[in-house]
Structure 1
Amino acid sequence: MERPRHQAAVPEGLAGQRLDRVLAALFPDYSRSRLQQWIRAGWITVDGAVRRPRDPVHAGEQISVDAEPEPETPLAPEPIPLRLLYEDDHLLVVDKPAGLVVHPGAGNPGGTLVNALLHYDPGLEALPRAGIVHRLDKETSGVLVVARTYAAHHALVAQLQARTVGRGYQAVVVGRPTAGGRVDAPIARHPRDRKRMAVVETGRPAVTHYRVAERFTAHTLLDVELETGRTHQIRVHMAHCRLPLVGDPVYGRRPVYPKGASETLRAVLDGFRRQALHARHLRLEHPRTGEAMHWEAPPPDDWERLLEVLRHG
């Protein structure tokens, strides 16, 4: 199914109003909540720039909608195994394997984490996105939290917006940075390739912190913390710093072999066909009790194998 593609100029009668209200008036086929999600995802631009839902618009500005389509079929529960790190009446904490899509969409109508969650807890059908408040890319492994009630969902979203949720990742990058750093570079849809994100001056603020965890001959293991949570943020920021993730098919490069690399190392680098990114830990306040909570997801087997071979050349 093709993405909805619309363009419209802001009429005089709607000038000065919030962007989300103007969109609801111009495109009544879509709910306001759905339009707000598309704004935050960067699928809607005003004169080519990403805006916030509350930003006012002016007469004559051009609004472009290039949005992800809804799933073509209703969401169905599927008996897909879940790796649970924690569970209570308010939360589920999942260790998502690489290769599992989080949300159904074009090309992935089923077989997703959402389908698995609906099978595990049918009550999640009543919540936005089946209770998922943040996402991981298909090929990123690691820890992800799911709300089981409206109150928990609201509280977790508020924590994410306040930037009080700690999201720690590990990434294996090509290159050897001399030290860690902070990347403060706005991110938006790539101006020419809408399937990619890019550092764009008019994009949404994005901040990533990283430090060196372990050095190899031509690669580095980084500990990464997100201050914001933009689509593909770590992958885009690391590529922007000329430290692309190993195996990244979108923002990376061909495998880089250290001088004198063994055949085993070459084979492992050639065979690592996903971005080397793992959501290692998650910290937040419990939405009901306020207790500080922390979970860690163990690295998957392919990740451990990659590090083992990099250590031995």
Structure 2
Amino acid sequence: MIQFTVGTLPCMTTLGGALKHFGVSATLRRRIKHSGTCTCNGQVIGLQNFVHTGDTICISLPVRQAFAPEPLAFTRVYEDRHLLVINKPAGLLMHPTAGQRSGTLANAVSYYYITSNQHCAYHPVHRLDKNTSGLCMIAKNPYVQSLFDHAPNRYYKRLYLALSTGYFPTPTATVHSPVGRAENSIIKRCVCLDGQKAHTDFVRLAAADTYSLLQVSLHTGRTHQIRVHCSYLGFPLLGDDLYGGTHELLSRQALHAYAMLFIHPITHKEIRLFALPPADMQALITEAGWDSLLAALSFSN
């Protein structure tokens, strides 16, 4: 449900205009027009009807449940009536594909909604690769998702931990290199002149001859961006054989979304969430003697 109070209006405004002003995307406004129920102060109205300052608007949309529910375990890190943040394990796809129709996070969340008596849908705010672990945000309705998708200035930051091959040579590094699809591949990406703008920041937390521990911050969200930029720098992730790493120390890419900071789009409260790295990455961090570094990590680094 979308609910808001109409603010000060400089001129006569329809409900459709008020929704646009309130940040509802054109796509969602079309859904509301064709299948939503709108009320103003408890009375049913249409998008073409005028609204006034102080009116209470409520929008209801039928829940689209497109994924078969499956009882797959996942860890909830944060939840309210608008958002669900989970700690995704490595090896779990975000949603079904042509080759895999079940056993995904979408199936697991659909099952959780049913068993917890929540009439919500699955709307990922961002996506993690199948073999990347860590914090993943799911909006419970399309409006909340649209507030993140269509408000680029809204404060929303994610930080990753990565283990790169070799001794990372500098304390910090910034990569502004466009990422696009590699030639003759539907999966692999590469740095290329005709790619999409991509910006990644790296902070070296610790380094040894065999591998280094990095904190990574994304400013754009291109497919495989961190993996591509690490490889581009000459320090591919451990376990990432697609981009030059090997499986000698790890069987999947050593990448974990460990921290998330955002201003809640509905409550406007600051939310800070953390998830420790999983056992495979933790074992290598412990072996190198870097456990104490994890406790000191923060968003100020």
- Please state whether the residue corresponding to 2:213 is helix, strand or coil: strand
Match of 1:164 in 2: 155
Match of 1:174 in 2: 165
Return the alpha-carbon distance in structure 2 between the equivalents of residues 85 and 248 of structure 1. 27
Q: Is the deviation greater in 169-178 or in 274-283?
A: 169-178
8 A Cα contact 1:100 1:139, kept in partner: yes
Change (3 A) 1:125 1:234: farther
- Residue 82 of structure 2 corresponds to residue 104 of structure 1: no
Matches within 5 A, 1:136-215: 136-159=128-151, 161-162=152-153, 164-179=155-170, 180-215=172-207
Please say which structure displays the higher CA radius of gyration: 2
Matches within 5 A, 1:284-299: 284-299=262-277
Match of 2:235 in 1: 243
- Please state whether the residue corresponding to 2:242 is helix, strand or coil: coil
What is the letter of the counterpart of residue 164 of structure 1? Answer: Y
**May I ask how many residue pairs the two structures share in their alignment?**
224
- Please state whether the residue corresponding to 1:114 is helix, strand or coil: helix
Q: TM-score, normalised by structure 2?
A: 0.70
Please give the root-mean-square deviation of Cα atoms over the aligned residues, in Å.
2.1
Task: Give the CA deviation at 1:104.
Answer: 0.6
- Structure 2 gap ranges (5+): 1-26, 28-65, 291-301
What is the aligned counterpart of 1:119 among 111, 121, 126?
111
8 A Cα contact 2:74 2:89, kept in partner: no
Percent of aligned positions that are identical: 37
Return the alpha-carbon distance in structure 2 between the equivalents of residues 295 and 228 of structure 1. 20
Match of 2:252 in 1: 274
Match of 1:134 in 2: 126
8 A Cα contact 2:166 2:208, kept in partner: no
Return the alpha-carbon distance in structure 2 between the equivalents of residues 250 and 204 of structure 1. 20
8 A Cα contact 1:151 1:287, kept in partner: no
Q: TM-score, normalised by structure 1?
A: 0.67
Task: Give the CA deviation at 1:308.
Answer: 2.0
Return the alpha-carbon distance in structure 1 between the equivalents of residues 213 and 232 of structure 2. 17
Task: Give the CA deviation at 1:271.
Answer: 5.0
Is the strand fraction higher in 1 or 2? 2
- Structure 1 gap ranges (5+): 1-32, 34-73, 256-269
What is the letter of the counterpart of residue 297 of structure 1? Answer: A
Return the alpha-carbon distance in structure 1 between the equivalents of residues 118 and 259 of structure 2. 24
